[in-house]
Amino acid sequence: MSTLICFLLCLIFPRFWSALVFANGPVEPAYNYQDSLPSGAGLIFSSVYITGGLIAQSAGYHFLESADLFFYLAPLFLMSVAGFLDDIFEFRWFPRLVFYSLISLFFVFLTQPSGLLSGHETQNSEIISLSLSVLVLLWMTNLYNFMDGIDGLAASQAIFVLVSVSFISLFFGESTPSPFLFFLIGPLIGFLSLNLPKAKIFMGDSGSIFLGFFFGITLLHEIDVPIWCWLILLGWFIADGTCTAIVRFLRGENLAKKHQSHVYQHLSRKFGVWKALMVVHSCNLFWLFPMASFCFLNPQIGGQIFIAAILPLFVLHLYSGCGQAKPYFLRDK
């Protein structure tokens, strides 16, 4: 039902977006694919997800612990709305960072995630854990925004991660997957049906910021699977986003400036969007999913498995020219 609702809302969204553009003047979209296509449709799947969760909870279905409901859903909603406003008005990077930091501090302070230092408590471990948690939330939020640059990638990646976690939890952990996770799959499928190449709508910051913060929450609180499993399943995004940011920083580039130097963007220009998506998800299915499953079955060495899974991806991305405007394999021979 949520898939159908989200699909229908996404169908009529372009008219709503056109009205906003007409009322506020020309809006430069967050993508270079087609300037005329509407952005900001992420507000639809985030709203459908949050509304569905609230309805399910009020009907007696265990979506979240009642005490946690506000502390989880309110920040997610605020992030999505802030992203939507940014899609319209395109705020500067500093006020965005301040707002995201305040929401992250609010969430971490009230929910006290302990996944980062679990089993390694020290005298100052609480302060260190909370500080690292805020940084992780900020990085995941911006990371997902960085990686939303070609049709279908961000939404399909989110579906892959959520389905993988649900599968691992159900078949290896023999426990029912959390509704907090699988409730989001339906709205994402509805959105993705109109976002695959050639896309008719884009999620914009309202979707990418929401998803990044969402995955930050799930990994910090180790929902259904340990934190290392979450990090492994998000491995392509972590490797591409982190390597590209590091290379651009070392080259003296402005990290807040838009660019086209991620590896997935290089692949898209060289081979086309569909083949770029196939490369990413082949890595997901045949490398990251098996490694995450192995990690779940061997949690005592989760950190080592994460390093073994992510290190080849870092090497691959550096070799493939992440952070470069035109890597070697795109240059004229």
> Helix or strand or coil: residue 111?
helix
Q: What is the DSSP letter of 329?
A: G
Q: Is 11 exposed, middle or buried (0-12, 13-18, 19+ CB in 10 A)?
A: middle
3-state helix, strand, coil in the chain (%, to 5): 70, 0, 30
pLDDT over 60 (residue 35): no
pLDDT over 50 (residue 330): yes
Q: How many CB atoms lie within 10 A of CB 319?
A: 12
pLDDT digits (tens, 9 = 90+) for 42-58: 999 999 999 998 888 88
Alpha carbons 78 and 74: distance in angstroms, whole number: 6
pLDDT digits (tens, 9 = 90+) for 258-308: 888 999 999 999 999 999 999 999 999 999 999 999 999 999 999 999 999
Percent of the chain having pLDDT more than 70? Answer: 88
**Six token digits for residue 82:** 């802030």
Domain boundaries, the chain: 2-225, 235-333
Q: What is the pTM of this model?
A: 0.91
Q: State phi, psi for 236 to the nearest 5 degrees.
A: -60, -45
pLDDT digits (tens, 9 = 90+) for 135-193: 999 999 999 999 998 999 999 999 999 999 999 999 998 888 888 898 999 999 999 99
Q: Categorize the per-residue pLDDT at 32 as very low, low, confident or very high, splitting at 50, 70 and 90.
A: very low
Alpha carbons 305 and 289: distance in angstroms, whole number: 12
Q: How many CB atoms lie within 10 A of CB 100?
A: 24
Q: What is the identity of the amino acid at 267? A: L
Alpha carbons 180 and 177: distance in angstroms, whole number: 9
Max alpha carbon distance in the chain (Å)? 64
